[in-house]
Amino acid sequence: MFDEMQGSEQSRQVVRPAYAALWDWLGETKPDVLDFRRREAELLFRRIGITFAVYGDAEAHERLIPFDIIPRILSASEWDVLHRGLVQRIKAINAFVNDIYHRREILKAGVLPEDLIFQNPVFRPEMNGQKVPHDVYVHVAGIDVVRTDAETFYVLEDNARTPSGVSYMLENREIMLRLFPELFSRYRVAPVEHYPDELLQTLKSVAPSAASSDPTVVLLTPGLHNSAYYEHSFLADKLGIELVEGRDLVVKDEVVHMRTTEGLKRVDVIYRRIDDDFLDPLVFRPDSALGVPGLMSAYQADNVTLANAVGTGIADDKAIYSYMPQILKFYLGEDPILKNVPTWRCRESDHLTYVLEHIGELVTKEVHGSGGYGMLIGPAADRATIAAFCAKLKSNPKDFIAQPTLALSTCPTCVEDGIAPRHVDLRPFVLAGRDRIHVVPGGLTRVAMPKGSLVVNSSQGGGTKDTWVLDR
């Protein structure tokens, strides 16, 4: 098992260079001092009100995501590989979505089966032939990356709809700067604080052609009860844009307006944190009270830009994921810099047979699930759970994929009895605008707090860490 600080099991006695100063600092700092700062951090988080709601958990209506004070550190050269891989990935994703809703050359070339697109609930026929400004569909992606050794990064998931977590990336850094100034005196850490500026610039760059030179951008939230509401209000604040709910917007003559104290005001770009399904009750779910009636008509008339575009789910669907290496090759003519986790598609009968035989070793996921729901981790599950899952799998194999249980890298983490290794992943945030792709150095490191656990999702008790990318 690979540890971010101490390397592979063979080389455990040697601290990896990026972690050397942290190692010294941990050695010099008394446990009670660490513990005190840890509690201080928690207090700060609660005070600022950074909470998230857990669905179906009435007790902890607003809960804190555990924050771990030991940073996760990436060297400049590691980041360089990641950065190139992420840029490559988002280029391919945008080309793919554009192709799917227009010429469909990838289907004509037989790279992936048609029914995987056309029978996929996240495919939006409303988007067929729909032009979007500068052909950018995915403006903000949160691409989940894990590593298994010093050289190998895998992409676990391409979140191309409404990825969240970036507020934690920003707040974690603020808290670390406040609590551990002495640690920052030993490291030169690339800043992340310009993310909101980059995001705003990205959003403005894709305004519809009819918009003025200073387009009006808003953030559309489902509202207070959404688990990521804190993040929505945080970002709106940092971007200096209005945080709107569906009821604040009204469509007149195919133009979107917001209701203000000075009357109606035209809106050009909507950074929406609402799923496709709820955007417009006239087109999608008619029972949606969160959306804006007529929004799609304004969108189709090119009077407003939605970021991300409608129908991008087709790019991060778990069933499509296994084809990503071929997709990259098809559009860019390049081999992927970041690997794909080998994936068995249960829709194919020989794959299904393999999965059923090896289910105890594999991670099996529902293709339309997210957030760690609808997932079986073979090695960690008991017989009864496996049996129940297999029944579900057999009755509808098309809905499942399986992957080997990756030995995710670990990172030193403060736990009950001191400092111990815990499994981590990384979600960097990738921005794609009119003529520029930008990745803020770092991202959100999520950590599975219980010993041995591989589930980093915050809905399942995962925590977060500040992520440092070192300057050259």
Partner 1 sequence: MLSRTADNLYWLARYVERAEYLARILDATLRLTALPLAYVGAGNEWQSAVATAGCADAFAAAYPEANEDTVTHFLAFSPANPSSIRCCLESARVNARAVRTALTVEMWDTINGAWLELKKWSDGPSSRQDFSSFLRWVIESSLRFDGSAYRTMLRNDAYWFSRLGLYIERADNTARILDVKYHLLLPAIEPVGGPLDYFQWASILRSVSALTAYHWVYRENVKPWLVAELLILRDEMPRSLASCYENLVQNADRIARAYGRQGLAQRQARTIRARLENSRIEQIFQEGLHEFLNDFIKDNNQFGAAVTQQYLV
Print the binding letters for residues 355-394 with partner 1: x by CB under 8 A, - otherwise: ----------------------------------------
Task: Let me know: does 467 contact 176? Beta carbons within 8 Å.
Answer: no
Q: Would you count residue 258 as binding partner 1 (CB under 8 A)?
A: yes
Determine, following the binding rule CB under 8 A, whether residue 178 of this chain makes contact with partner 1. no
Question: Measured from the CB atom, is 67 or 123 closer to partner 1?
Answer: 67
- Measured CA to CA, the distance from residue 47 to residue 192 in angstroms comes to 22
Determine which residue in the list 84, 194, 259, 436 makes contact with partner 1, applying CB under 8 A. Answer: 259
Q: How far apart are CA 435 and CA 443, in angstroms?
A: 22
Cross-strand partners of 269? 217, 305
Alpha helices in 301-338 (DSSP H): 313-316, 318-321, 324-332
Q: Please state whether the peptide bond connecting residue 94 to the residue before it is cis, i.e. omega within 30 degrees of 0.
A: no
Min separation Cβ 57 and partner 1, Å: 18
59 binds partner 1 (CB under 8 A): no
Minimum distance, C-beta of residue 101 to partner 1, in the bound complex (Å): 33
Instruction: Give the shortest CB-4-to-partner 1 separation in angstroms.
Output: 34
β-pairing verdict for 153-159 and 339-340: parallel
Roughly what angle, to the nearest 10 degrees, separates helices 166-179 and 31-48? 130
**Cβ neighbours of residue 395 under 8 Å, at least 6 residues apart?**
none
Q: Cβ closer to partner 1: 186 or 259?
A: 259
Nearer CB in complex with partner 1: 65/243? 243
Using the rule CB under 8 A, is 174 a contact of partner 1? no
Report d(CA 249, CA 271) in Å as an integer: 13
The binder of partner 1 chosen from 12, 31, 33, 49 (CB under 8 A): 49
**Contact pick of 11, 77, 260, 396 for partner 1 (by CB under 8 A):** 260
| Residue 122: Cβ within 10 Å count | 20
Q: One symbol per residue from 214 to 253: x for binding partner 1 (CB under 8 A), - otherwise; what is it? A: ----------x----x---xx-xx----xxxx-xx-----
> At its nearest, how many Å lie between partner 1 and the CB of residue 258?
6
DSSP state of 393: H
Number of residues binding to partner 1, judged by CB under 8 A: 21
The alpha-carbon radius of gyration of the chain (Å, integer) is 22
From the list 98-106, 259-267, 374-382, 438-446, the region that binds partner 1 by CB under 8 A is 259-267
Cβ 46 to partner 1 shortest distance, Å: 7
Please give the full DSSP string across 284-302, using - where no structure is assigned. Answer: S-TT-SSS-TTHHHHHHTT
Task: Please tell me whether residue 47 binds partner 1 under the rule CB under 8 A.
Answer: yes
Binding residues vs partner 1 (CB under 8 A) = 46-49, 224, 229, 233-234, 236-237, 242-245, 247-248, 258-262
